[in-house]
Structure 1
Amino acid sequence: MRYWRFTVKSWLFLGVAIVAEVVATSGLKASEGFTKLWPSLLVIAGYAVAFYFLSITLKEIPVGVAYAIWAGMGLVLVALIGWLIYGQTLDAASVIGMALIISGVVVINVFSKSVAH
Structure 2
Amino acid sequence: MPYLLLGIAIIAEVTATLSLRASEGFSRLGPSLVVAAGYLISFVVLAKVLTRLNVGPVYAIWSALGTVGAFVGGVLLFDERVRPATVIGAAIVIAGVIVMNLGGGASHG
Letter of the aligned partner of 2:22 in structure 1? Answer: A
| Percent identity (aligned) | 44
Unaligned stretches of 5+ residues in structure 2 = none
* TM-score normalised per structure 1: 0.88
Does residue 12 (structure 1) correspond to residue 4 (structure 2)? The answer is yes
Superimposed CA distance per residue, residues 4-26 of structure 1 (whole angstroms, 9 cap, x where no aligned partner): xxxxx100010000000000000
Does residue 77 (structure 1) correspond to residue 69 (structure 2)? The answer is yes
Matches within 5 A, 1:1-117: 9-112=1-104, 117=109
SS at match of 2:78: coil
Unaligned stretches of 5+ residues in structure 1 = 1-8
**RMSD (CA atoms):** 1.5
Alignment partners' CA distance in 1, 2:14 and 2:73: 9
Letter of the aligned partner of 1:108 in structure 2? Answer: M
Alignment partners' CA distance in 2, 1:107 and 1:48: 29
Runs of 4+ in 1 over 6 A off after TM superposition: none
